[in-house]
């Protein structure tokens, strides 16, 4: 089975590279990141993938539905959670788009079958982690944390 992948907070394509390196049969249908330099590098690394530079919260529901992605990969902003940061969690404005995605999952008619997320040490003790886990459980996802 080939997975249709939407890559949120795509950066320079680390998750995309990891999928390929792991031999996962996948096709990234769109990558999203707000950083112009990261997007330029992503386009260089993966020239066939459309990259969208927009605030995720500004995208219409129809955009998420149109992706028809089986797998969402995410590397959300780490600054709200990192041990070197202020550890404000969901109170940090940089966590806003991730909280939006967590909420969005419940509203989608066609939810992704799989979510793959990475973050930093400190996320596990944040107030955002239980928000994410409650939503995943509510929607019937099973999860593993490493």
- Any idea which residues carry the catalytic annotation? 78
| Residue 94 C-alpha from the chain's centroid | 14
| Residue 124 C-alpha from the chain's centroid | 17
Dist CA 27 CA 24 (whole Å): 9
Three-state secondary structure call for residue 26: strand
Which tokens sit at 64? 């998420």
Specify whether the CB–CB gap between 42 and 10 falls below 8 A: yes
First to last CA, the chain: 25
Backbone torsions φ then ψ of 36, nearest 5 degrees: -65, -40
């Amino acid at each position: 089975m080939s997975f249709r992948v939407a890559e949120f907070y795509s950066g320079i394509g680390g998750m995309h590279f990891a999928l390929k390196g792991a031999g996962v049969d996948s096709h990234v249908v769109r990558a999203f990141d707000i950083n112009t330099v990261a997007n330029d590098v992503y386009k260089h690394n993966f020239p066939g993938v459309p990259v969208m530079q927009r605030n995720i919260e500004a995208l219409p529901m129809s955009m998420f539905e149109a992706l028809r992605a089986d797998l969402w990969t995410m590397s959300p902003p780490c600054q709200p959670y990192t041990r070197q940061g202020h550890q404000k969690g969901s109170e940090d404005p940089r966590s806003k788009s991730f909280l939006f995605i967590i909420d969005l999952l419940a509203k989608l008619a066609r939810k992704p079958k799989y979510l793959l997320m990475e973050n930093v040490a400190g996320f596990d003790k944040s107030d955002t982690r239980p928000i994410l886990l409650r939503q995943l459980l509510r929607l019937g996802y099973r999860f593993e944390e490493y």
